[in-house]
Structure 1
Amino acid sequence: MEPRTPLWWRATLALSLGSFLIFVNLYAIQPLMPRVGEELALSSLQASWLLSVSTLTLALALLIFGPLSDAIGRRALMLITMALATVCTLMISLAPGYASLLALRALQGFLLGGLPAVAVAWMGDEFTRPALTMAVGLYISGNSLGGISGRVIGGAVGGVWGWRTSFVVVGLLSIVAWLVFYWLLPRQQSFVPQSLNLKRMGGDLKGHLRNRMLLGAYLIGGLNFFIFVNLYSYITFRLSAPPFGLATQWLGLLFLTYLGGTIGSAFSGRLTGRLSQPAVMMAGIVLLMIGTLITLSSSIIFIIMGLCCNAFGFFMCHSMASSWVGRQAVGARASASSLYLMFYYLGASLGGFYLEPFWRMANWPGVVAAALIVLCITLCLAALLRRLERRQLMQQE
């Protein structure tokens, strides 16, 4: 497909809508965690695990669904996993207790991994190179808008009618979106099935992990998200308690600060004309550190400013790290990108375990101190990538 043709628009809108749907379902729980925790008598760690378990299983799904789609096809896999994930969303509203809720969130996260694992590969099969470049930008915007919308919808509905109703609303919205996705997405024309070669797949993954240029980016993406997404989880606990006492619907609106990330990722592209990619990563991490420090303020206005700064810096670094992987991978670029996403979502799932002891010891100042320790590590990793890149350029000369 060529760019801007009617068929290209149909496919691009379908995949962007699918991406929006995935992240609405994934993140709707985040502003609801204090309320769910209160109703089910959960600790802050148990409540935060309701998001973490989904990102963990999504990370694992990325390594399974990508190779599986090479053999069975991509369109069918996306449709089936999205439909089953929607069923899970509706079932979550009926979960009788914490154990069943956690199990359903784990299953939901795994199924939600179906579309992110294969959407770009579908585009690669069906689009020309210029069409692919344009489509990916719109697809990624669906990611961020879905994440924001899921949190805002979850918070707004949950604040008025309860957290269970939030999942009913998201489930009904997902059914409508799935039907539109099914209608819009064209059938595959250029897909060629391949046999599953586990030995070759394992060899590719080992090669990526042995590449220091890639491993550094994997750790930066994973550790930054390890901190960033879990800071939002713990800020909801802080702001729902005295002296702030924000209701659930207001907690959901906090995630509008993610829009700063949309600006940050666009701005990072302009900086690459003047700075190296690792230098832009370093700048993003420094902004993430500054934003985190600003949230120590007792003023809700300054806290929101700090979160906006966080989002700007995080997504500036994330966009550079993900594009760095595509540029530095030696062959098997699809698996290199999948491995980056696995580290990324694995980081999100584990960050709560790291921050919880600091939250218990010193509340929000403890969380900030713990975050800065990890961000100092990622800053050093970005500086190391900058040094390795310079050495690489010198060897080429």
Structure 2
Amino acid sequence: MIEAHTRAWWRATLALCLGSFLVFINLYAPQPLLPALREVYGVSTLGVSLIMSVSTLALAGALLVFGPLSDAIGRGAIMRITLLATGLCSLALAFAPNFESLLALRLVQGFLLGGLPAVAIAWMGDEFDRPALLSAVGLYIGANSLGGISGRLIGGGAGELGGAGAGFLSVGLITLVGVALFWKLLPKARAFTPRRFELRGALADLGGHLRDPLLLAAYLLGGINFLIFINQYSYITFRLAEAPFGLGTRWLGLIFLTYLGGTLGSTISGRLAARIGQPACMMLGVLILMGGTLITLSASLGWILFGLTVNAFGFFLAHSMASSWVSRHAQRARGSASALYLVFYYLGASLGSAWLEPFWQRGGWPGVALGSWLLLGVTLGIAAWLWHGERSMTRAQTA
């Protein structure tokens, strides 16, 4: 097993962080363009949000394919091939002739984007010992946030200069360069033991994961938290594009620099979990996310941005812990266990606009905050249940 902070650990972690970065620049590049696209195509806020929703929904479906498949054929080839195809798809998106074809291509790209997230943490679970896994997952999740920031900055900046096509073209070229480096850096798996793929067995593994209360709790926590977090960013762009703020596309892209709070949260998550435990970190993350949402009710742009930064810190702290919790507690078929976590995660993202849209229509941003708190109360309860269960288990083992 690879130990933390060795040369092999750094090389593998760097490769997987790079792959994560490439996935998320492709996924989130269109988000700052949503207000402009709404005007260009004459669609509603819910309609234009499909640009994000179809890709996250397809990504969720892809995880059910790539996770079990990786348990049979290995993880490395899946990550390499899907990343390459993702870059080529971004180049095609630059030349999409209309809204319908854009949605179709985003659907295809979403499926391809599922390749690396479905198996990356399972790859770590195979190859890393437990301290190495906790440290690497924090950095890997941090790369998610950096990719999300960069994709939105590229999408917003290039979109203002040359239209959405320029943003997709830029992301596609960056992805192809990154894939070449990823291909070279990722070490050959040494601890992976293949299992013959059987549909019945794969379905049995998924059913077993869903019947495990410790895994199901993490799945629900990750999915509901992401439903709120990512869709808050979509609705905040609509708020900030309108009076009295009136921000343009480039400036809307810059608000995603608040994701740096998430980079910090995920990076320190491993050390914090070593002190207070993973469920306590999940509880803390949800409470911080609730507090950041309260701050965003301010009429000051500065305070709104600070609130979004706090939200990112809390969300990625909880997400890092929930995802590593799954890899740690899965008794078998780690690939499908990790993939199932991300199915819930991205299903949450794709369903979030349907949940928050009525709150937005009736109450604007305060309505979105109310809708957020309702569901975050659920995830806080889930994290508290895990915390209580872990404490009870620890007392039983030391008795």
Normalised to the residue count of structure 1, the TM-score between the two structures is 0.91
Q: Is the 8 A contact 1:213 1:388 kept in 2?
A: no
* Corresponding pairs, count: 397
- Listed one character per residue, the Cα deviations across residues 138-185 of structure 1 (whole Å, up to 9, x for unaligned) are 433322211111111111111222112111111121222223333444
CA gap 1:355/1:61 in 2 versus in 1, 3 angstroms: same
Query: 1:140 maps to which residue?
Result: 141
User: Which residues of 2 match residues 287-366 of structure 1 at below 5 A?
Assistant: 287-366=288-367
Q: Is the 8 A contact 1:35 1:163 kept in 2?
A: no
Displacement of 1:190 in angstroms is 6.2
Match status 1:83 vs 2:80: no
Query: 1:214 maps to which residue?
Result: 215
Other structure's SS at 2:197 match: coil
How big is the alpha-carbon RMSD for the aligned residues of Structure 1 and Structure 2?
A: 2.5
Q: Which amino acid aligns with 2:92?
A: M
Query: 1:62 maps to which residue?
Result: 63
Displacement of 1:121 in angstroms is 4.0
Query: Alignment identity in percent?
Result: 60
Q: Which amino acid aligns with 2:151?
A: G
Query: 1:45 maps to which residue?
Result: 46
User: In 2, distance between residues paired with 1:5 and 1:325?
Assistant: 24
Q: Which amino acid aligns with 1:236?
A: T
Query: 1:21 maps to which residue?
Result: 22
User: In 1, distance between residues paired with 2:7 and 2:318?
Assistant: 34
User: In 1, distance between residues paired with 2:323 and 2:387?
Assistant: 15
Query: 1:102 maps to which residue?
Result: 103
Displacement of 1:329 in angstroms is 3.2
User: In 2, distance between residues paired with 1:192 and 1:211?
Assistant: 23
Other structure's SS at 2:247 match: coil
Other structure's SS at 2:276 match: coil
CA gap 1:303/1:51 in 2 versus in 1, 3 angstroms: same
Structure 2: 5+ residue stretches without partners? none
Displacement of 1:36 in angstroms is 1.4
CA gap 1:203/1:394 in 2 versus in 1, 3 angstroms: farther
Q: Is the 8 A contact 2:157 2:253 kept in 1?
A: yes
CA gap 1:29/1:181 in 2 versus in 1, 3 angstroms: same
CA gap 1:369/1:337 in 2 versus in 1, 3 angstroms: same
Displacement of 1:14 in angstroms is 3.2
Normalised to the residue count of structure 2, the TM-score between the two structures is 0.90
Q: Is the 8 A contact 1:278 1:382 kept in 2?
A: yes
User: In 2, distance between residues paired with 1:26 and 1:341?
Assistant: 14
Q: Is the 8 A contact 1:257 1:307 kept in 2?
A: yes
Query: 1:244 maps to which residue?
Result: 245
Displacement of 1:362 in angstroms is 1.7
User: Which residues of 2 match residues 116-265 of structure 1 at below 5 A?
Assistant: 116-123=117-124, 135-186=136-187, 193-265=194-266
Of 265-274 and 36-45, more deviation after overlay is shown by 265-274
Other structure's SS at 1:139 match: helix
CA gap 1:45/1:185 in 2 versus in 1, 3 angstroms: same
Displacement of 1:60 in angstroms is 1.6
Q: Which amino acid aligns with 1:142?
A: A
- Listed one character per residue, the Cα deviations across residues 91-141 of structure 1 (whole Å, up to 9, x for unaligned) are 212222222111111110110111222234445566677766665454333
User: In 2, distance between residues paired with 1:309 and 1:380?
Assistant: 20
CA gap 1:389/1:76 in 2 versus in 1, 3 angstroms: closer
Q: Is the 8 A contact 1:20 1:146 kept in 2?
A: yes
Query: 2:94 maps to which residue?
Result: 93
Query: 1:384 maps to which residue?
Result: 385
User: In 2, distance between residues paired with 1:340 and 1:327?
Assistant: 13
